[in-house]
Amino acid sequence: MKIAEVCPFYYPRRGGVETVVKEYSERLVKRGHQVEVYTTDGSWRSPWVEDMSGVRVHRSIRVPLPILKTLSPAFLLPLKLLKTEFDLIHVHGNKYFSTDVGALVAKLKGVPLIYSPHAGTFGQSFFGRLHNQTIGRLALSAEVVLCVSKYEKSLIESSGVKVKRIEVLPNGVDTTRYKSGYKSLALNKKSEALAHRGPTVVYVGRVAEHKGVETLIKAAPLVLEKVPEAKFVIAGPDENAKCKMQNAKFEKKLIFTGEVSEEEKVALMQRAGVFVLPSQSEAFGITVIEAMAAGCPVVVSAIPSLMEIVKDGQTGLVFPVDDEKVLASQIIRVLADQNLSRQLSTNAKVRVEKKYSWEKIIDHLERTYASIL
């Protein structure tokens, strides 16, 4: 098959959607398919066309809008898509210019369309509802809408928008990568975070408002009362001033590393005593299954998408959203009880192998593509 994957951003930019599209593309190429990625994260300094691990990547420059940033136009993107022939087009992201234009091009060319919203919320704002009823209908009229969780599927179904066919295809993890021996990695500016030999609590991801990082920082002093030797590591881009101000009282116990490489992320997860994802909303939660694959016990907020991944008391622990007191007590439980920690780690690895292996995910994706051609 000749496939176009259309997404707002792509590697080397890091994030959930970027990871999924990269894994889809590279793994489909290894199976003999021709995959081209069309994205809107180009710049005057970056190549507009480049080959990355067998995938041809086309980048277009966006013209930033001051308010509706996700709909910032990239005028070359539709022209590039229109001049190339594909067997199908797969668009990624909810309420993005690239998604709407990719869907429009598929309709104009009569090419089968697949849509992956990757949406932790859907049509809940006025603008979201308006978009779904207007230009957003292009993507929603796809032959298949692929959701990463039952929760995301329920959001679309309850929105009142009619779709032809809807399936759940979770994100995956490369389990072999998390068996590698990165624990001894030498890590330059991240060395302080990884050199700590005591209990470490790790968060990996963007420091964005909906990620709930402030709740973790509020929980830190409560944990330190019981486990004074613990350290907290926040690994990810977009550090915000509010989080840093909260950090002032126990600065030596909380480390902001900034963005980390793939190897550094694996090393952090392998060494950590517990991984925390305190999000207020998520479509899925890739870093959770990555931590589980690395053998790191996880504590996550009790939102529907994360509770599909984590079985409380079996493969991890959960806490109510924004409740720093319960979060602190769950972290303390894991750090203080080695038997519980080992049990959660072992059960989580088994669950990831059975349900979230990338090879199984790509098998499903390949069948879905073939079914609409």
Q: Same domain for 234 and 260? A: yes
Residue 244 in this model has a pLDDT that exceeds 80: no
Owner of token pair 């305190």 = 278
Number of domains in the chain: 2
Confidence of residue 8 (pLDDT cuts 50, 70, 90): very high
Q: Same domain for 76 and 61? A: yes
Structure tokens at 177: 């990568």
Strand, coil or helix: 168: strand
Res 177: pLDDT: 83
pLDDT (tens digit, 9 = 90+) per residue, 88-99? 999 999 999 999
Owner of token pair 């990871």 = 19
Q: Same domain for 20 and 160? A: yes
* CA–CA dist 339, 348 (Å, integer): 14
**Cβ partners under 8 Å of residue 294, min gap 6:** 178, 266, 269, 270
Side-chain half-sphere CA neighbours of 151 within 13 A: 18
Res 288: pLDDT: 96
Q: Same domain for 245 and 349? A: yes
Question: Quick one: average pLDDT of 250-275?
Answer: 86
Lowest average pLDDT, out of 109-113, 153-157, 175-179, goes to 175-179
Q: Same domain for 100 and 198? A: no
Q: Work out the number of other CB atoms within 10 angstroms of the CB of residue 41.
A: 20
* CA–CA dist 343, 118 (Å, integer): 31
Q: Same domain for 208 and 348? A: yes
Q: Is the dihedral of CA 343, 349, 354, 356 positive or negative?
A: positive
Q: Same domain for 278 and 144? A: no
Task: Return the CATH number at 215.
Answer: 3.40.50.2000
Side-chain half-sphere CA neighbours of 290 within 13 A: 25
Confidence of residue 240 (pLDDT cuts 50, 70, 90): low
Percent of the chain scored above 70 by pLDDT? 90
Please work out, in degrees rounded to the nearest 5, the angle formed at the alpha carbon of residue 39 by the alpha carbons of 63 and 100: 75
Q: Same domain for 93 and 204? A: no
Res 104: pLDDT: 97
Q: Which of 193-202, 251-260, 357-366 has the highest mean pLDDT?
A: 357-366
Percent of the chain scored above 90 by pLDDT? 66
Q: Do 286 and 149 meet the contact criterion of CB atoms below 8 Å apart?
A: no
Q: Same domain for 52 and 158? A: yes
Res 180: pLDDT: 65
Res 189: pLDDT: 46
Cis peptide before 12 (omega within 30 of 0): yes
* CA–CA dist 80, 86 (Å, integer): 12
Res 336: pLDDT: 95
Q: Do 107 and 81 meet the contact criterion of CB atoms below 8 Å apart?
A: no
Q: Same domain for 186 and 142? A: no
The single-letter code of the amino acid at 338 is: Q
Res 190: pLDDT: 55
* CA–CA dist 223, 236 (Å, integer): 22
Question: Quick one: average pLDDT of 241-248?
Answer: 53
What's the domain range around 232?
177-355
Q: Which residues of 46-80 are buried (b: 16+ CB within 10 A; e: fewer)?
A: eeeeeeeeebbbbbbbbeeeeeeebbbbbebbbeb
Question: Quick one: average pLDDT of 342-370?
Answer: 95
Lowest average pLDDT, out of 55-69, 326-340, 351-365, goes to 55-69
Res 181: pLDDT: 58
pLDDT (tens digit, 9 = 90+) per residue, 179-206? 765 554 444 445 555 555 679 999 998 8
Lowest average pLDDT, out of 146-160, 170-184, 327-341, goes to 170-184
Res 186: pLDDT: 47
Lowest average pLDDT, out of 52-66, 185-199, 222-236, goes to 185-199
Q: Same domain for 185 and 165? A: no
Phi first, then psi: give them for residue 53, nearest 5 degrees: 55, 40
Residue 254 in this model has a pLDDT that exceeds 60: yes
Q: Same domain for 228 and 348? A: yes
Q: Do 299 and 330 meet the contact criterion of CB atoms below 8 Å apart?
A: yes
